[in-house]
Amino acid sequence: MAGIVYGLGPDYFVKFVEVDTPSMTLSLICPTKDPAPWVAAIKAIDSGIDLRVWPDDGDKADVTFALVWAQPQGIFAQYANLQVIASMGAGVDNLLKDSSIPEQTTVVRMVDPQLVSQMGDYVLAASLNHGRQFLNYAQQQQRRQWQPLAPQNMGDITVGVMGLGQIGNAVATRLVQVGFRTIGWSRRNKSIEKVQVFSGQQQLADFLAASEILVCLLPLTPETENILNAETLGQLPQGAYVINVARGNHLVEEDLLLLLNNDHLAGACLDVFRQEPLPQEHPFWRHTKVTITPHIASLTNPVSVAPQIVENYRRMQRKQPLMNQVDLRQGY
């Protein structure tokens, strides 16, 4: 697109120079999601944004801002003037696998109170289901068996939250409010009211040994891939319960099965899997100790996150620092 630069030349005459500047266009690249609600939510805030939807997004040289989910790998090489890539969700593991992300591009993600509170609801529901033995009662119901089980107080159960970021921190606080004894683990040490925080590899064993319910809310990075394995899960107390709401590749699924089958673990509630949808023949489907949900623990609501998308788009135009930037070196 042609732009005009006004300036004073060396001979003090005003010069009008035509230069090529990219127009500011936002393209949605989300082959597995319906773009319509996203387009509507963004347009409702700023109808002036030049908004396009891949693959019919016209001249790709116009596109400076890409809003993406499950993009075809390598696609960014087609966008010569890309300045910002925004993940439609909180996680960026799939996005960052793409080696075509241009070096000068800023990557941002969604940080959203609705996303956080939905995750709190899910973890709370799974923890209470386990704590109040609803899963055992469901099995007893199948057998028409009337058998009270020993009650447990929430204050006597320690929940360990792995990952104390935007979501994990709030989930830990929510667990405290409900009365669970709550501990957490993150890379760097931090302070959260009424939560004992462990940090780094050197404190992982102590954290695991105390976690009667383990909640995984880590980002998926080379350091955290396969972190839930026979060795780490084996360090949980006998009868512990595992809740994985982060990413499927955090969990070595065969190792979990082994520890469920030898009764080291009481059960697991899984929202994410190495392969999604979970294949029909997968042993998790029929396992009495496993509760499955189809990656719904917390879903991004376009209406709720549209303001931060538009704000970042405007900041890009004004060349200001963007919100919710991803640290590409750390991978989250």
C-beta of 119: minimal distance to ligand NAP in Å?
6
Query: Given the complex with ligand NAP, which of 25 and 186 has the nearer CB atom?
Result: 186
C-beta of 42: minimal distance to ligand NAP in Å?
20
Per the annotation, the verdict on 295 as an active-site residue is yes
Query: Given the complex with ligand NAP, which of 63 and 68 has the nearer CB atom?
Result: 68
How crowded is the C-beta side of 56, counted as CA atoms within 13 Å?
1
Query: Given the complex with ligand NAP, which of 253 and 271 has the nearer CB atom?
Result: 271
Residue nearest to ligand NAP (CB): 165
Query: Given the complex with ligand NAP, which of 60 and 247 has the nearer CB atom?
Result: 247
The Cα 137–Cα 157 span in angstroms is: 19
C-beta of 116: minimal distance to ligand NAP in Å?
8
The Cα 33–Cα 63 span in angstroms is: 20
Which stretches of the chain bind ligand NAP, using CB under 6 A? Answer: 89-91, 115, 163-168, 186-188, 217-221, 223-224, 245-247, 271-272, 295, 297-298, 332
Q: Which of 187, 282, 295, 315 is catalytic?
A: 295
The Cα 258–Cα 261 span in angstroms is: 5
Q: Which of 52, 181, 247, 250 is catalytic?
A: 247
Per the annotation, the verdict on 287 as an active-site residue is no
Which parts of the chain are beta strand (E)? 2-8, 14-20, 25-29, 50-53, 63-68, 84-87, 106-108, 158-162, 181-186, 195-199, 213-216, 240-244, 265-270, 290-292
Q: What one-character-per-residue DSSP string does 156-191 give?
A: G-EEEEE--SHHHHHHHHHHHHHT-EEEEEESS---
Residue 152 φ then ψ, to 5° = -125, 140
Residues in the chain: 332
Rounded to 5°, the CA angle 178-215-193 comes to 45
The Cα 200–Cα 181 span in angstroms is: 21
How crowded is the C-beta side of 54, counted as CA atoms within 13 Å?
23
C-beta of 63: minimal distance to ligand NAP in Å?
26
End-to-end alpha carbon distance in the chain: 35
Contact 331, 221 (CB under 8 A): yes
C-beta of 235: minimal distance to ligand NAP in Å?
15
Query: Given the complex with ligand NAP, which of 27 and 291 has the nearer CB atom?
Result: 291
C-beta of 208: minimal distance to ligand NAP in Å?
12
Query: Given the complex with ligand NAP, which of 250 and 289 has the nearer CB atom?
Result: 250
**Known catalytic residues?**
247, 295
